[in-house]
Amino acid sequence: MARSELRADEGFDTFYERHWRRVYGICMTYMKNPADAEDCTEDVFVKVLTGNYEFTDELHEIKWLTVTAANLCKDRLRHWWNGKVSPIDEAAEIPAENSDSEYDDVISALRSLPEKHREVILMYYYTGLSTEEIALRLRVPASTARNRLRDARNKLKDILENDDL
């Protein structure tokens, strides 16, 4: 399998080209506005640029980027600053703009899920991790990971099938 090249600037530019939109989309499922999503996206790629990571193939890249983006967003949301956000800042929340409005409600539904459900949905459906791999990453029993995934799917299904949305 071709090894990703990240050392030369050309290599990073190519890497960024391949993945920037994907990472941005993941960050938008967590953050409430495009500015924060852009900030988190940038931080993900800064990690790539300054780190010493070796990816075996594109799927490996996607998995790493998804997990890293989710973790960065979660850390950002838990930061003390977010606890002090004033009501006026809530008005800055801008709904996700989607090139295909068919998926607007999917993004909104993902955002409305509790964090523990959103992360398993992303890990399972977007990244393709198995429930065993999810359990290892979350440090929970495999049965808990399966239960969370099942509950998350049911919640998502309820939200998406709600005609009021």
Q: Which is nearer to another protein, 50 or 86 (CB)?
A: 50
Length of the chain: 165
Between CA 72 and CA 130 the distance in angstroms is 22
CB of 90 to another protein, least distance (A): 18
Distance CA 158, CA 3 (A): 42
Cα within 13 Å of Cα(138), Cβ side: 27
Residues 118, 71 contacting (CB under 8 angstroms): no
Residue placing its CB nearer to another protein in the complex, 32 or 135: 135
| Contacting residues toward another protein, per CB under 8 A | 13, 16, 20-22, 24-26, 28-29, 34, 38, 41-43, 45-46, 49-50, 52-54, 56-57, 59-60, 63-64, 67, 78, 80, 83, 96-100, 102-103, 106-107, 110, 114, 116, 121-122, 124-126, 130, 132-133, 135-136, 140-144, 147, 151, 153, 156-157, 160-161
